[in-house]
């Protein structure tokens, strides 16, 4: 596996592959890799000739009071893990390389952000869209891989490629979970031992929505109230939101019909965790 830090080196490597008609799968990450990221890389490995992973903690997507400085970083461990997952080229640019000066143009996302994490993380998805667009161009990716755990991010990126006709196929990959159901996340390391014990209640509350919907209870207000109560009692955390929305549009709905997302965000002392499940509910009445 080759490791490069500059855009020039990345582009040189990409051009050689492209000249030979090879396909490129891009896995954009912010590092501190876990099994979720490795699953993305493994899927990219199966579907492309060359797999590029980027590791870049993107300052543009962090608010002033968020965890940019203390976001966990471990480049050496990441490099070993990326190699084991079949990555051919690891792109690890410095902030100065990606943003040598304040960008003259950045992207603004107009839809799918007025809900869920978009409400409390102002400008976050503009920062994500901007960096992802830069990476798509640099890597000349045929396919790009994103986890379904960040379902709002995935919806925004689908919107980005559709709106701007970006010639990249977006591949959404299933959430990887711990054996007790907790979604894998780089931020799980911030959980205190007591919090970690209770955190699987997030997924359980989401599953209880699924069970209720499957039993025919589709009123979203009732479903949300019941799930919120459960989250408050069982997670030991502050519940930021529990929502049921259309997916990928992320519009409010009264009844859970069609493709819907049930999503929750809870705040522990040092970590804010999100999780979701996407359901297809048949039989509109
Ligand atoms: O999901 C992430 O890790 C980041 O938001 C991404 C897509 C790498 C953009 O910085």
Q: Which CATH number is 198's domain given?
A: 3.30.1300.10
| CA–CA dist 40, 31 (Å, integer) | 13
Residues 161 and 205 in one domain: no
Task: Name the pTM for this structure.
Answer: 0.95
In this prediction, residues 70-74 reach a mean pLDDT of 94
User: Would 212 be classed as within a structural domain?
Assistant: yes
Residues 151 and 262 in one domain: no
Task: Decide whether any atom of ligand 1 lies within 6 Å of the 126 Cβ.
Answer: no
Query: Residue written as tokens 């992802």?
Result: 132
Enzyme catalytic residues = 37
Residues 138 and 235 in one domain: no
Ligand 1 center–CA 29 separation, angstroms: 5
Residues 93 and 145 in one domain: yes
Residues 168 and 206 in one domain: no
Residues 8 and 144 in one domain: yes
Number of domains in the chain: 2
pLDDT in tens, 79-117: 999 999 999 999 999 999 999 999 999 999 999 999 999
* Domain around 266: 186-276
Measure the CA dihedral 109/203/268/196, to 10°. Answer: -140
| CA–CA dist 234, 211 (Å, integer) | 18
- Residue ID of nearest Cα to ligand 1 atom 9: 128
Residues 48 and 69 in one domain: yes
- Residue ID of nearest Cα to ligand 1 atom 6: 29
């Amino acid at each position: 596996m080759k490791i490069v830090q500059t855009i020039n080196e990345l582009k040189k490597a990409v051009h050689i592959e492209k000249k030979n008609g090879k396909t490129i799968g891009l896995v954009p990450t912010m590092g501190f890799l876990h099994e979720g990221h490795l699953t993305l890389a493994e899927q990219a490995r199966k579907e492309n000739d060359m797999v590029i992973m980027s590791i870049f903690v993107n300052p543009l997507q962090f608010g002033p009071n968020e965890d940019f400085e203390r976001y966990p970083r471990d480049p050496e461990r990441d490099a070993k893990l990326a190699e084991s997952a079949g990555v051919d080229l690891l792109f690890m640019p410095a902030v100065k390389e990606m943003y040598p000066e304040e960008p003259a143009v950045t992207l603004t996302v107009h839809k799918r952000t007025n809900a869920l994490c978009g409400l409390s993380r102002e400008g976050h998805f503009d920062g994500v869209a901007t960096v992802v667009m830069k990476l798509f161009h640099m890597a000349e990716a045929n396919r790009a891989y994103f986890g379904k755990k960040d379902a709002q991010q995935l919806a925004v990126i689908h919107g980005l490629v559709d709106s701007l006709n970006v010639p990249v196929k977006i591949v959404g990959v299933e959430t990887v979970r711990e054996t007790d159901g907790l979604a894998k996340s780089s931020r799980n390391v911030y959980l205190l031992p007591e919090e970690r014990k209770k955190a699987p209640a997030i997924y359980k509350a989401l599953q209880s929505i699924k069970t209720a919907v499957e039993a025919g209870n589709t009123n979203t207000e009732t479903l949300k109230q019941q799930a919120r109560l459960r989250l408050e009692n069982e997670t030991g955390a502050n519940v930021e939101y529990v929502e049921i929305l259309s997916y990928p549009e992320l519009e409010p709905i009264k009844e859970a019909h069609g493709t819907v997302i049930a999503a929750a965000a809870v705040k522990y002392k040092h970590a804010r965790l999100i999780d979701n499940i996407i359901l297809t509910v048949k039989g509109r009445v």
